[in-house]
Structure 1
Amino acid sequence: MKKDARYLCYPYMRESASTVDFEIQTDSLTTKVGQAAARVKHIPKLYESLMEIMPMVYHLNGSVRGKLAITEADLERLSAIYDDYVHIVQDQIKQFLLPQGSEAACALHVCRSDAKKSVRALHKVSLEREVPNLLFDYTHLLANVFFVMAVYANKVEGVPEIPFQSKSYPERKLKRGESK
């Protein structure tokens, strides 16, 4: 007797491969990008960027188990989005910042954090199978894009950034566009 699909949320759930964890993590990230988009509708530039990025995260999701769906052109497009936001917020990102601010900025910081988790999950996959460097570059850049978007959201909404000075690490200046 065929199992009823309503009792199966994801067909690979019982696999032991790290691919499953990567796919679940990037599914979570895609969901959070959608949530962030709902919170930035009043900032058209951010909304349009997130609506462009959201399907790309799902393409990233399937690019390990399935066909590689992220291309060099996609990486270049994400890089252009990054450069656009960095150009606008370059004065605010010269130091480490607390992940705070407007509701929109906080939602974007959550996306940034989830993108980092996706990089880590991708690393775990790479210990088990070959992963194209393109996917690593895209996922790392994605985290940095969400960071500069968060700073942009605070700037647009008039919320000041709060610098963070670590007691654990010596102070160093961030390079243009670099995030913690």
Structure 2
Amino acid sequence: MKKDARYSCYPFMREKASTVDFEIRTDSLTTHLGVALAAVKKEDVQVVAEDLLLMLPMAYHVNGSVRGKLAVTEEDLSWLSERYDFYVRHVKEEIQSFVLPQGTEAAAALHLCRSEAKKSYRTLHKVSEEREVPAILFDYLGLLANVCFVMAVFMNQQAGIAEIPFISKSYPMKKKKENNNEKSI
């Protein structure tokens, strides 16, 4: 008797290899990017919405690039790097210290995307212990996490919401000299 497809949410679920874990994690990343896009559209910040529309399919391209053909190019990485530079130019003052993941709904959603990108990177590392993984995928996921972070800060900036610095009780913070006055970062 043929198994009814309605009971299978993903054909590789019972694999032992970490590849399926990576694919599920990057599916979650893509879904979170979609949620972030919906929130950004509600807050009407067009530049971020346009960038997320391009990042959404790229997350699925990352997803399929381990089991299938590599679908992430140097041009894709270069574009994402340019977007990082764009947002950093706007938020460089706000990102001088570690900040709490808070603010507008869109900023919070983008912080979730940042976290999902990091989880995807970590899962990709597990895959790399089992099989060869193209280095560009690590670069893309690491950069994607950072782009989501600066986008989140940008969304707060657009809404006039201040970032809240996080001061760790666990790790000493380096001090930065500024105009002969010491400033904690």
Q: TM-score range by the shorter chain?
A: over 0.9
1:169 corresponds in structure 2 to: 171
Residue aligning to 1:5: 5
After superposition, residues 69-108 of structure 1 pair within 5 angstroms as 69-108=71-110
Alignment partner of 1:140 is 2:164: no
8 Å CA contact retained: 1:40, 1:46: yes
3-state SS of paired residue (1:40):
helix
Number of residue pairs the alignment of both structures matches? 174
8 Å Cα contact 1:95-1:173 kept in structure 2: no
- Residue by residue, what CA displacement relative to the aligned partner does 1:105-163 show, whole Å, maximum 9, x if unpaired? 00000000011000100000001001111110000000000000000000001110000
Alignment partners' CA distance in 2, 1:173 and 1:149: 26
Q: Which sections of structure 1, spanning at least 5 residues, go unmatched?
A: 175-180
Q: CA RMSD in A?
A: 1.1
* Distance in 2 separating the partners of 1:8 and 1:172: 51
Deviations 1:13-55, CA, capped at 9 Å, x for gaps: 0001000000000000100000000000111111111111000
2:61 counterpart SS class: helix
1:60-91 CA-partner distances (Å, limit 9, x unpaired):
00000000000111100110111111111111
Gaps of 5+ in 2: 177-185
* Alignment TM-score, normalising by the size of structure 2: 0.92
**Matches of 2:47 and 2:159, distance apart in 1:** 13
Q: Does 1:154 align with 2:156?
A: yes
1-structure distance, mates of 2:40, 2:137: 27
* 1:2 aligned partner, one-letter code: K
Q: Which amino acid aligns with 1:96?
A: F
SS of residue matched to 1:141: helix
Q: Which amino acid aligns with 1:62?
A: G
Closer/same/farther in 2, CA of residues 173 and 156 from structure 1, 3 Å limit: farther
The letter of the residue matching 1:155 is Q
* Mapped partners of 1:39, 1:161: distance in 2: 19
Q: Match of 1:178?
A: none
Partner of 1:20: 20
Percentage of matched positions with identical amino acids = 66
Shift of 1:5: 1.3
Offset at residue 172 of structure 1 (A)? 2.6
Q: Structure 1 residues 173 and 87 mapped into 2: Cα distance closer, same or farther (>3 Å)?
A: farther
Q: Distance in 1 between matches of 2:8 and 2:50?
A: 33
Q: Match for residue 122 of structure 1?
A: 124
TM, length-normalised to structure 1: 0.94
Structure 1 stretches of 4+ with a deviation exceeding 4 A read none
